Amino acid sequence: MLDFFTIFSKGGLVLWCFQGVNGSFTGPVNALIRSVILQERSGSNLFIHDALSMKYKLDNEFELVFVVGFQKILTLTYVDKFLDDVQLRFRDRYKNQLEQKGAMKLLNGSFQFQDDFQQLLREAEESTKACAPAPMKTFMQSQKSQKTVKSMIETRGGEKGKEKESNKKSKNAKKEASAAEGDGDSTRGGTQSGLPKKSSPKPQENGNEGLTPEEIKRNQQEFFRRMGGGGPKKPSSSSSSKSPKPEKLQRVKGNREWVMGGTNTKELDYSNKDMNGSQDTLPATKDNAEDLKQLGQMKGDLRSVDYESSEEEEEDEEVVVSAAAAANPSKSSSKSFRGVFGMLKGLVGSKSLSQEDMEPVLDKLRDHLIAKNVAADIASKLCESVAKKLEGKVMGTFTTVTSTVKQALQDSLVQILQPKRRVDILRDVMEARAQRRPFVVTFCGVNGVGKSTNLAKISFWLIENGFSVLIAACDTFRAGAVEQLRTHQRRLNSMHPPEENGGRPRVQLYEKGYGKDAAGIAMEAIAYARSHSFDVVLVDTAGRMQDNAPLMVALAKLIAVNMPDLVLFVGEALVGNEAVDQLVKFNQALADHSMSDKPRIIDGIVLTKFDTIDDKVGAAISMTYITGQPIVFVGTGQTYSDLRSLNARAVVSALMKA
Amino acid sequence: MEAAVFQPFLDSIQKELQAQDPAVLAVLVALVVVIISIIFMKIVWGRKTTRSAVLLVGLCDSGKTLIFSRLLSGKFKKTQTSITDSSAIYNVKSEKVTSQTKGRGFTLIDLPGHESLRPQFVERFKSAARAVVFVVDSAVFQKELRDVAEFLYSLLTDAEIVKNAPALVVTCNKQDITMAKSAKVIQQQLEKELNTLRVTRSAALSTQDGSTAGGTVYLGKKGKDFEFSQLPMKVEFVECSAKGYKAEDGEADIEQLEKCLARIS
């Protein structure tokens, strides 16, 4: 029944394996490790990969992993208990070899576990056969056949209510009742047999559940009143519902008075003043002075987000401090007298961690994370995963539960924030330049997160490093979107004048006005860039809510048709639980509407408005946890040089700071 | 003769002790204690900083754990992606077993290659590294070239590694696969790629004041193309096949690597 069962050490050596079917299982197990254990999703212990479902168990004392795999379509009930049994048996048998520090014993030891395994498997399978689902009882065995008919007849007192009940009870026997009515006989058993004489004046009410006509009329009127006259038109009831309507239409809407708007539309036309014959650059005025100050600051790789209080030495202090403060957690969970001894016992000697020990600490840490703006269910998943990782682990001397759990949580947070693939945009752009094609980046996100602003910052960074940029204005909906990008283009060009670049402006804007199809504009922009050899194309899309289905389809079409090199989701750092919803729905929409085998989903995240949160940096964790993609840029302000890369350690230390 | 030199010294000390000035006594005692503790600390810390580890690093799936197993026990073991490090004492195999070479060993540490674990493990073990064995998967090298180069760049520009300058052995693994590149080709490609990376990564050194992503070291010499010979540490390129050219249980071809390790220690 089982496809395979492996036991391997956390260092990667397979100690023992059982293969029920031919074919290597290294791939699926590696997928399990990478997506579950390394991404801190070990809360639930089931993982499905292609047609295989895998259950696993971590043994943290001896650093082992037990994995069992079976076909997805099977539902085997004994697997969990079986895993536990195998783990206990393996540990007991090979305790000496596993206890050694250092891998020599693992390498040299041979783990002949076959017989034990087969025996345990047989026991597990037999136990399921033993508790097969019970067969259904026959009617004769049930209690109902023991009762007499008379005992089930309702008494006459409170006729209406009881008849209603009995009518309700025997809804299936309605046909019987009407048939019995027709016959006028009461030969069949059941509740209706005693009733036909009483219910003969009310056969038509059987369908109405025993209500009188007056009651029916009253209910109908109430219903129509609530519906506002939307029900079937009955002259008696509709007149009452129509009366409130005409009152609503009394208010007449007057025209709104705009303060700044004149009646003359010529005043509203701003186009001529700035566009003197397709001028792409602003003349150098005093407004440019501030911009020019930023010139030359963005060469090379981005600086990382820095925190004044980010010190990696904080972690060492924590151990000392928490030893002194260890009295608090232990005292809260037990009586004060025992608490003192508990603290001492916890400090010295080796104790293995259990779920109960970690519970209070994890609860506090979960609340702390939520207070720091991490999404609520992600905080709880993280804490579960840390609990799974630490269960059964033996603590060294002079370490408390709090410090161990905090350290483990910190490690897993750093691990989540580390990018799982190489993030080097400049190198990829150079590669694309060598292949003579433009590097296409698409920005998507909900309304108002800073897509256009950060697009301008990224183009400043790119032109500082010597690339030429084409901005595609695919936001054809929002008023002023194209003009905004044009203003950015002019400012950027004034800082890096075209004379530097052999007469060609560094940044150009490709726009087709408003109301057109965004995907078409993007395709034309990319073709234009290829023919005029631009290095990078930055595609700005309109902001859209993740629930807006037609807009999500349009975005998916834009990305599927144009196949950009990088799809960046722009999210603001202020968002809380909403981040989870946004990212999940965006990814879902991109995957569903792409009509290809390998849909393009979000490749990276731009975290904006980072300067508005001082240390409530939880949104970074939520976003990377949900997508598994790295945070590529961090926006820290509204000027062109406010662009940084993510420093995982600094963010985690800000997060864990009390 | 020394006794004669010390004699007046001892006389003066004796006189002062007899004078029974508690302040002087206290100062003397304190000085002695401080000197002893300084010597003690130096010994303890000195022992810690002896670098006696050889690190096995590389990208995910490059074959580090299998090389680890082969070096230590010669056996072939199935492996999975490592989640944590493994370490063991490795005794150098050499042809001549003299009194000098016998028992010379160092700790071999196998670090996980997965991208999210790599930085923290390298951070933990880099100060103890006497040599770094960088394992490269020669078969898929062309596809992974940029990732390999980035990892190598981050290692070579790390401040502590530049200070200690451990020997670097770039092991081109998986030579048993027919499409595997040779060590020479890999060396040339890495040099070219690192040349480009220098430009993209370190051009902003003069204007940065915050914490930088990479180290503050410029690889090689400015103005000239990057070559491994320009580095302060010894760099060697070897080929090996941890799996072996024959069936699964056959011998592995790691002789060059073993010779390298013998030379290092």
Contact A362, A309 (CB under 8 A): no
**Contact: B213, A427; criterion CB under 8 Å:** no
* Average pLDDT score, chain A: 76
Nearest residue in chain B measured CA to CA from A303: B212
For residue A224, what pLDDT is reported? 82
Angle (CA) A352-A355-A360 rounded to 5° is 110
**pLDDT for residue A642:** 85
Distance from CA of B175 to the nearest CA of A (A): 21
% of chain A residues with pLDDT over 90: 13
Q: What is the DSSP letter of A35?
A: I
* B191 part of contact set with chain A, CB < 8 Å: no
**Which of B72, B81, B201 faces A107 most closely, judged by CB atoms?**
B72
pLDDT at A320: 39
B-facing residues of A in 421-460 (CB < 8 A) are 421-422, 424, 426-427, 430-431
Interface of B with A in 115-144 (CB under 8 A): 115-120
Tell me the C-alpha distance between A354 and A307, whole Å.
Answer: 36
Closest-CA residue to A623 (of A585, A654, A582, A590):
A582
Is residue A178 within 8 Å of A203, Cβ to Cβ? yes
- Statement: residue A568 has pLDDT above 90: yes
Say whether A30 and B81 touch across the interface (CB within 8 A).
yes
- The angle subtended at Cα A121 by Cα A118 and Cα A127, nearest 5°, is 140
The pLDDT confidence band at residue A509, using thresholds 50, 70 and 90, is: very high
pLDDT of residue A523: 92
pLDDT band with cut points at 50, 70 and 90 for residue A438: very high
Summarised one tens digit per residue, pLDDT across range A32-57 is 888 776 667 666 677 787 788 888 88
Hey, CA dihedral for B258, B260, B262, B265, is it positive or negative? negative
pLDDT number for residue A85: 84
**pLDDT at position B98:** 47
Interchain contact, B83 vs A17, CB within 8 Å: no
List the one residue out of B126, B157, B120 whose CA is nearest residue A417: B120
B154 and chain A in contact, CB less than 8 A: no
Contacts of A13 in chain B (CB under 8 A): 65, 69, 77-79, 86
Query: Could you write out the three-class secondary structure of A290-342?
Result: HHHHCCCCCCCCCCECCCCCCCCCHHHHHHHHHHHCCHHHHHHHCCHHHHHHH
Give the CA radius of gyration of chain A: 36
Q: Are B178 and B245 in contact (CB under 8 A)?
A: no
Q: Between A351 and B228, where is the model more confident?
A: B228
**Do β-strands A469-474 and B105-110 pair in parallel, antiparallel, or remain unpaired?**
unpaired
Inter-chain residue contact A38 with B83, CB threshold 8 Å? yes
Q: Using CA atoms in the order A412, A413, A415, A419, what is the torsion angle rounded to 10 degrees?
A: 160
Inter-chain Cβ pairs, chain A and chain B, closer than 8 A: 149
The beta strand positions in A495-625, using DSSP E, are: 507-510, 536-541, 566-572, 604-608
Cβ–Cβ < 8 Å for B64, B113: yes
Across the range B12-24, mean pLDDT stands at: 70
Residues of A in contact with B57 (CB under 8 A): none
- pLDDT band for position B205 (cuts 50, 70, 90): very low
> Measured between CB atoms, does A262 come within 8 Å of chain B?
no
When pLDDT is cut at 50, 70 and 90, the band that residue A310 belongs to is very low
What pLDDT is recorded for position A317?
Answer: 38
Contact B110 A11 (CB under 8 A): yes
Q: Is the pLDDT of residue A538 over 90?
A: yes
Asked if A103 reaches chain B (Cβ–Cβ under 8 Å), the answer is yes
Residue of higher predicted confidence among A430 and B18: A430
Please indicate if any CB of chain A lies within 8 Å of the CB of B210: yes
Amino acid at A122: R
User: Which range has the worst mean pLDDT, A367-376, A619-628, B86-95?
Assistant: B86-95
pLDDT in tens, A42-96: 666 777 877 888 888 888 778 888 888 888 887 777 888 888 888 888 888 887 7
Token pair recorded at residue A580: 């989870």
**Is A38 close to B210, i.e. CB distance below 8 A?**
no
Tell which of B115, B199, B201 to mutate to test the A interface (max A CBs under 10 Å).
Answer: B115
State whether A430 and B196 contact (CB < 8 Å): yes
Q: Which of A299, A302, A465 sits opposite B207 (nearest CB)?
A: A299
Nearest CA in chain B to A630: B116
Between strands A64-71 and A52-59, the pairing is antiparallel
Q: Choose the weakest-confidence range: A34-38, A117-121, A158-162, B204-208.
A: B204-208
- Edge to edge, what strands does the sheet with B167-173 contain? B86-91, B105-110, B53-58, B129-137, B167-173, B235-239
Using DSSP bridges, classify how beta strands B53-58 and B105-110 pair: parallel, antiparallel or unpaired. parallel
Which residues have CB under 8 Å from B138's CB, separation 6+?
B172, B173, B174, B175, B177, B180, B181, B182, B186, B239
Residues 6 or more apart whose Cβ sits within 8 Å of residue A485: A452, A455, A456, A471, A473, A509, A511, A540
Residues A52 and A26: their CA atoms lie apart, in Å, by 13
- pTM score: 0.70
Nearest chain B alpha carbon to A411:
B120
Q: Using one digit for the tens of pLDDT, what is the confidence trace for B84-126? A: 888 888 776 655 444 444 456 778 888 888 888 888 888 888 8
Residue B65: which of A12, A302, A411 has the nearest Cβ? A12
Give the Cα separation of A54 and A68 in Å (integer). 6
HSE value, Cβ hemisphere, 13 Å, CA-based, for A309: 11
- Mutation pick from A10, A100, A643 vs chain B, by most beta carbons of B within 10 Å, is A10
Does residue B49 sit at the A interface (CB-CB below 8 Å)? no
Mutation pick from A4, A5, A13, A39 vs chain B, by most beta carbons of B within 10 Å, is: A13
Is B156 in contact with B207 (CB distance < 8 Å)?
no
User: Measured between CB atoms, which of B68, B78, B203 is closest to A17?
Assistant: B78
Which chain A residues contact residue B91 at CB under 8 A? Answer: none
Query: Who's near A576: CB < 8 A, 6+ residues apart?
Result: A373, A375, A618, A619
Task: Give the chain A residue nearest B195 (alpha carbons).
Answer: A427
**Is B166 an 8 Å CB contact of chain A?**
no
Angle of helix A376-390 versus helix A618-627 axis, rounded to 10: 70
What is the predicted pLDDT for the residue at B121?
87
Q: How far is A107 from chain B (nearest CA, A)?
A: 7
Q: Which residues of B touch A303 (CB under 8 A)?
A: 204, 208, 210-213
* Cβ contact, residue pair A300, B205, below 8 Å: yes
Contact A19/B at CB under 8 A: no
Q: What is the pLDDT of residue B132?
A: 87
The pLDDT value recorded for residue A261 is: 58
Q: How many residues does chain B have?
A: 265
The whole-number average pLDDT for the span B29-41 is 88
Q: Does B147 touch chain A (CB under 8 A)?
A: yes
User: Is the separation of the CB atoms in A488 and A450 below 8 Å?
Assistant: no
Over pLDDT 70: what percentage of chain A?
Answer: 71
Task: Average the pLDDT over B207-227 and give the result.
Answer: 59
Is residue A468's pLDDT more than 80? yes
> In sequence order, which residues have a C-beta less than 8 Å from that of residue A352 and are 6 or more positions away?
A61, A392, A393, A394, A395
Above 50 in pLDDT, residue A199?
Answer: no
Return the pLDDT at A486.
Answer: 92
* Pairwise CB contact (< 8 Å): B114 & A34: yes
pLDDT band at A263 (very low <50, low <70, confident <90, very high): low
**Two tokens, residue A107:** 């390498």
The alpha-carbon gap from A279 to the nearest alpha carbon of chain B, in Å, equals 32
pLDDT band at residue A205 using 50, 70 and 90 as cut-offs: very low
Give contacts of B208 with chain A, Cβ < 8 Å.
303
Q: Does A293 touch chain B (CB under 8 A)?
A: no
Asked if pLDDT for residue B136 goes beyond 60, the answer is yes
